[in-house]
Chain A
């Protein structure tokens, strides 16, 4: 009896929120879920918010995109324009272009939403690239996060194509030229190119189908896959728990930071509004894709200075600087001048995506890593990343060679040749320079640990010598600067065994040993200071 009273008592007392939560718990098990996650700890570092920018701009794109679908007509039927933008009155254009004009000039706030959608898309892809670079340079992709690295990489690639299909929808002169470029590239594919083109466009270019087809790809297929990947990406972030930088109290076995409720709820939730707010203001003051001044697409018209959205710029660079090689044999044409760039385009992206797997193969490291590397402490990886970025930016320069020429009064011929040479040379130079800088920074860290921080105070000794006073570091700083791990290079060992019989070493093993020496060999990392070295120097020899 008493228990029944107690339970009815507590039921009567429970506040409404708790009763709702009880109801949900009985059906969804939310208490168990919240137990693990409500006070989940997130470490703090400015670079950890880059991924948040991706997530929030993605949400903004979905919200504004849904709004745009309410007004956009994905049709290529030709209509005459009779909207409120006077200069285009009476022009023939597709319904897609017409409805985009309607959104921009006749729907109140339509232009704003369109511009938010487009700006957010540019920011989304940019944030993904920067976020990916953060993960790369800090080694956050190491076990157990390799799969999440791939999810993120796929999101970047899909984001680029969602962007491309999206900006092609208004069927304006600029984007139509971009679609034509894509079709020309598809045609270059040996054997099946013309078939692919016919199937893609429902016949000859441009035909009357591609806007509708791009539309379903842009609003359903690609974002659907991306949404799934984003959810998986986030679940894995929660499951793995966030990485952290080395520091006092921070180990590979713990995660130090603030709890989700309330601090990260407020910070991350607030950050969504900050990102949205900034994009809204940008869209209020900066025009993007002014299709009204570009005009509707006509395959026989074009404007100068045509540029794709920035994330397609590197593919544009590839196609612009490639020599126009064509091989005609046995009645067939191999369009290498277009096909080779088409092949290199995905290769550029894949090059950075496979690094984590190369690195883990070379190190043979099967342990979990939750402490981030400082870029300097992984010189080869950092140098590789910078080399890749250099490669990417060289191609971006190639993609805008006409703009570089007109803005900086350069010869377009010279720029093209510069890009052709830099495509091969610049990454190598960037690699060498970055590695040297990393090693220099490692030496400086070692110096700081062993000799202390330069205080800027000059002291004169009794015998007249001037020295700079070095302040010893605190134990926190000493620990932070020596916490990183250093791999030992892989040795192949003797090529003959103890009986003098030649030992077979597989080619892959030789390659692995070579790479390992290149990453962790004598001149490729500075041995971090040891306790003995530190004690020897600090054990009262006075200055040094």
Chain B
């Protein structure tokens, strides 16, 4: 027991207990006791007390008026009216009126009550005794005896078979609840490894909803694309675009440092996953001169001229690249799915 390790005399002596000198009036640090009560002006001057009373009543009245103002604004102001209020600018008239009147109505009740308490209610300090939280030894002994008696009468200590099977049953029964959670979702399987991209799927411009041709992608522009066939109204659009979102840039082929990147590109047009490999934010900032892209959430920065490797920030690996080409009609198409999972890393990613 750690308590035994500390000798009693190590504990400090409380001021009041140690200062036995003060009985002789000899201890200058002794507790002089509660200071005498000092009267407020309201305690001795009835006119001041009346003034306080009027102040409190005024605040409560103001609150009533503000509530009436609240109801009046609710009825009178149209919900879409906007007003110019300096220095706030153009704001919703109704919101402003309701909020300020409600605020004043509430605040004045509070201010009135506090003013009342501070100036008119008795401010004489009262001392109350504290009692130890711990029970007295007698109470403790009684409780322990009662407990022993109860335990003995139940025979839980003697009839071990009952005790053990009961613990067993109580341990097992929550398992039903755990099992029931199984259908919260499907197993991961290889869902995170696949996207909608597949061989021959056209790259569709997110803005125009038209398939992209190489000549649509100019140097210095950042184009977002989705796989053909995925429409905003599809019921799983959000889930699909969360993996399939693509960004396309054109880089002068001689500027591309990574050999595989060049092979997977088409005339310097490269397609990378838009989903950051850190925790999955969409990357949306593009620096035209350096071909760096930046995720605005946590500032991971990737170099698109060098296999989209991480050059700054907390991301752990490069952005996956989509292999693209051009079909007979001259449209950009995917030459397969991403070869590695897009988005944040996970245990099974490998």
List A residues at the B interface (Cβ < 8 Å): 39-41, 78, 84, 92, 105-109, 111-112, 115-116, 144, 177, 180-181, 183-185, 187-195, 197-208, 239-241, 248-249, 251-259, 262-263, 266-267, 269-281, 283-285, 287, 297-306, 319-326, 328, 331-335, 337-338, 361, 363-368, 370, 401-402, 412-413, 416, 449, 475-476, 478-479, 482-483, 485-488, 490, 508-509, 512, 529, 531, 534-535, 538
| Shortest Cβ gap from B204 to chain A (Å) | 13
Whether a CB of chain A sits under 8 angstroms from the CB of B253 is: no
| Shortest Cβ gap from A532 to chain B (Å) | 10
Give Cα distance in the complex from A485 to B111, angstroms: 39
Option from B102, B127, B314, B350 in Cβ contact (under 8 Å) with A254? B127
| Inter-subunit contact B133/A198 (CB<8 Å) | no
Q: Which residues of A contact B350 (CB under 8 A)?
A: 328, 331-333
Q: Which residues of A contact B347 (CB under 8 A)?
A: 189-194, 332-335
Give Cα distance in the complex from A323 to B317, angstroms: 11
| Inter-subunit contact B296/A402 (CB<8 Å) | yes
Given A181-B279, A248-B32, A478-B29, do A285 and B88 touch, yes or no (CB 8 Å)? yes
Number of interface residues of B (CB under 8 A): 114
Q: Which of A111, A277, A287 has most chain B Cβ within 10 Å?
A: A277
| Inter-subunit contact A278/B128 (CB<8 Å) | no
Q: Which residues of A contact B29 (CB under 8 A)?
A: 449, 475, 478-479, 482-483, 529, 531, 534
Whether a CB of chain A sits under 8 angstroms from the CB of B162 is: no
| Shortest Cβ gap from A153 to chain B (Å) | 20
| Inter-subunit contact B5/A278 (CB<8 Å) | no
Give Cα distance in the complex from A115 to B33, angstroms: 49
A-B interface, 5 closest residue pairs, ranked by CB to CB distance from nearest:
A284-B99, A184-B279, A277-B107, A270-B113, A249-B34
| Inter-subunit contact A285/B96 (CB<8 Å) | yes
Option from A248, A278, A366 in Cβ contact (under 8 Å) with B33? A248
| Inter-subunit contact B233/A92 (CB<8 Å) | yes
Give Cα distance in the complex from A411 to B299, angstroms: 12
Chain A, Cβ-Cβ closest to B133:
A144
Q: Which of A111, A191, A201, A531 has most chain B Cβ within 10 Å?
A: A531
Option from B16, B112, B300 in Cβ contact (under 8 Å) with A270? B112
Give Cα distance in the complex from A205 to B342, angstroms: 13
| Inter-subunit contact B34/A273 (CB<8 Å) | no
Whether a CB of chain A sits under 8 angstroms from the CB of B202 is: no
Q: Which of A41, A361, A509 has most chain B Cβ within 10 Å?
A: A41
Chain A, Cβ-Cβ closest to B224:
A300
**Binary interface profile of B, 70-94, with partner A (CB < 8 Å = 1, else 0)?**
0000100001100000001001101
Question: Considering the complex, which residues of chain B in the window 2-23 have a beta carbon less than 8 Å from any beta carbon of chain A?
Answer: 2-3, 5-6, 9-16, 19, 21
Whether a CB of chain A sits under 8 angstroms from the CB of B278 is: yes
**Binary interface profile of B, 86-118, with partner A (CB < 8 Å = 1, else 0)?**
001001101111111011111111111110111
Option from B14, B123, B242 in Cβ contact (under 8 Å) with A485? B14
| Inter-subunit contact B238/A271 (CB<8 Å) | no
| Inter-subunit contact B99/A281 (CB<8 Å) | yes
Chain B, Cβ-Cβ closest to A261:
B121
Give Cα distance in the complex from A158 to B125, angstroms: 37
Chain A, Cβ-Cβ closest to B237:
A78
Q: Which residues of A contact B3 (CB under 8 A)?
A: 364, 366
| Inter-subunit contact B296/A305 (CB<8 Å) | yes
| Inter-subunit contact B103/A281 (CB<8 Å) | yes
| Shortest Cβ gap from A97 to chain B (Å) | 12
| Inter-subunit contact A251/B106 (CB<8 Å) | no
Q: Which residues of B contact A192 (CB under 8 A)?
A: 347
| Inter-subunit contact A299/B245 (CB<8 Å) | yes
| Inter-subunit contact A302/B281 (CB<8 Å) | yes
| Shortest Cβ gap from B1 to chain A (Å) | 10
| Inter-subunit contact A509/B5 (CB<8 Å) | yes
| Inter-subunit contact A205/B242 (CB<8 Å) | yes
Whether a CB of chain A sits under 8 angstroms from the CB of B184 is: yes
Give Cα distance in the complex from A416 to B92, angstroms: 40
Given A280-B99, A479-B29, A490-B6, do A324 and B315 touch, yes or no (CB 8 Å)? yes
Give Cα distance in the complex from A258 to B122, angstroms: 8
Give Cα distance in the complex from A193 to B28, angstroms: 66
| Inter-subunit contact B310/A324 (CB<8 Å) | yes
Give Cα distance in the complex from A297 to B297, angstroms: 15
List B residues at the A interface (Cβ < 8 Å): 2-3, 5-6, 9-16, 19, 21, 27-35, 74, 79-80, 88, 91-92, 94-100, 102-114, 116-118, 121-123, 125-130, 132-133, 181, 184-188, 191-192, 206, 224, 226, 232-233, 235, 237-239, 241-243, 245, 274-275, 278-282, 284-285, 295-300, 310, 312-317, 343-350
Given A109-B94, A184-B344, A267-B114, do A301 and B125 touch, yes or no (CB 8 Å)? no
Jot down 30 A-B pairs with beta carbons below 8 A, ordered by A: A78-B237, A109-B74, A109-B98, A115-B95, A184-B279, A205-B239, A205-B242, A207-B238, A257-B125, A258-B122, A258-B126, A273-B106, A274-B110, A275-B110, A277-B109, A300-B224, A304-B296, A320-B299, A322-B314, A324-B314, A333-B346, A333-B347, A364-B6, A402-B296, A416-B299, A479-B30, A479-B31, A483-B29, A485-B15, A509-B5
Q: Which residues of A contact B98 (CB under 8 A)?
A: 108-109, 112, 284
| Inter-subunit contact A274/B14 (CB<8 Å) | no
| Inter-subunit contact A202/B121 (CB<8 Å) | no
Given A249-B33, A302-B297, A478-B29, do A187 and B344 touch, yes or no (CB 8 Å)? yes
Q: Which residues of B contact A189 (CB under 8 A)?
A: 347
| Inter-subunit contact B281/A284 (CB<8 Å) | no
| Inter-subunit contact A270/B111 (CB<8 Å) | yes
| Shortest Cβ gap from B232 to chain A (Å) | 6
| Inter-subunit contact A476/B35 (CB<8 Å) | yes
Given A304-B296, A332-B347, A534-B28, do A277 and B279 touch, yes or no (CB 8 Å)? no
| Inter-subunit contact A112/B297 (CB<8 Å) | no
| Inter-subunit contact A206/B242 (CB<8 Å) | yes
Known: A111-B92, A276-B110. 15 other contacts (CB 8 A): A41-B127, A92-B233, A202-B184, A252-B130, A257-B125, A270-B114, A271-B110, A277-B110, A298-B238, A332-B347, A335-B344, A338-B279, A364-B6, A413-B312, A535-B28
| Inter-subunit contact B125/A258 (CB<8 Å) | yes
| Inter-subunit contact B28/A187 (CB<8 Å) | no
| Shortest Cβ gap from A482 to chain B (Å) | 4
Q: Which residues of A contact B14 (CB under 8 A)?
A: 252, 485
| Inter-subunit contact B127/A255 (CB<8 Å) | yes
| Inter-subunit contact B299/A401 (CB<8 Å) | yes
Q: Which residues of B contact A41 (CB under 8 A)?
A: 126-128
Q: Which residues of B contact A144 (CB under 8 A)?
A: 133
Chain A, Cβ-Cβ closest to B129:
A254
| Inter-subunit contact A266/B117 (CB<8 Å) | yes
Give Cα distance in the complex from A181 to B295, angstroms: 12
